[in-house]
């Protein structure tokens, strides 16, 4: 049995512990039920829950939710446009977000899937300093996709 200041009150029956808690107008909370003997503490349970919620809220505030950003390309995307999109992707990766690169094929471009694959492989080579491949290059209908994740080591 532990009181509200953290002092040990020793072994006692549950009835005696409840009586002490009621006299102090506090709650009796079982902290370690699997211990031999079980450990109980006298606390204000409402205050305890309020402080726990505040800690959880502060912890959630500091967490960063990872988002998936998408960059859309075509096999005939010009080099300047590609560099511009790679710069944006690099910024997103440095912020800690994943980036999905998609190459869309139209009409007869489907006959030249190797151009799209080379485009994505070149992006992988350019981004190796800030990212690692999360999902490899794969074809999905008329689209070719790959996902890069931020590399924590770099």
**What is the third-level CATH fold of 68-150?**
Translation Initiation Factor IF3 (3.30.110)
Residue 132, judged by CB atoms within 10 A of its CB (0-12, 13-18, 19+), counts as middle
Query: pLDDT tens across 43-85, in order?
Result: 998 998 999 999 999 888 887 778 899 999 999 999 999 999 9
Q: How much is the pLDDT for 3?
A: 85
What is the model's pTM?
0.60
Architecture of the domain delimited by 14-62: Roll (3.10)
Instruction: Give the pLDDT confidence score for residue 74 in this predicted structure.
Output: 93
Measured CA to CA, the distance from residue 97 to residue 152 in angstroms comes to 11
Q: What is the pLDDT of residues 86-144, one digit of tens each?
A: 999 999 999 889 999 999 999 999 999 999 999 999 999 999 999 999 999 999 999 99
In the chain, where the domains are located: 14-62, 68-150
């Amino acid at each position: 049995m532990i009181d509200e200041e953290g002092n040990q009150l020793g072994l006692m029956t549950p009835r005696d512990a409840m009586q002490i808690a009621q006299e102090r107008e506090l709650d009796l909370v079982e902290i370690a039920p699997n211990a031999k003997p079980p450990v109980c503490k006298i606390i204000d349970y409402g205050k305890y829950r309020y402080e726990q919620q505040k800690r959880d809220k502060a912890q959630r505030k500091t967490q960063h939710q990872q988002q998936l950003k998408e960059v859309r390309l075509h096999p005939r995307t010009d080099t300047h446009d590609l560099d511009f999109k790679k710069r944006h992707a690099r910024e997103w990766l440095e912020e800690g977000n994943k980036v999905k690169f998609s190459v869309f094929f139209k009409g007869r471009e489907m006959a030249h899937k190797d151009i799209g694959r080379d485009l994505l492989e070149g992006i992988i080579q350019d981004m190796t300093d800030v990212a690692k491949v999360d999902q490899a290059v794969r074809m999905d209908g008329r689209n070719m996709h790959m996902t890069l994740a931020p590399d924590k080591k770099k």
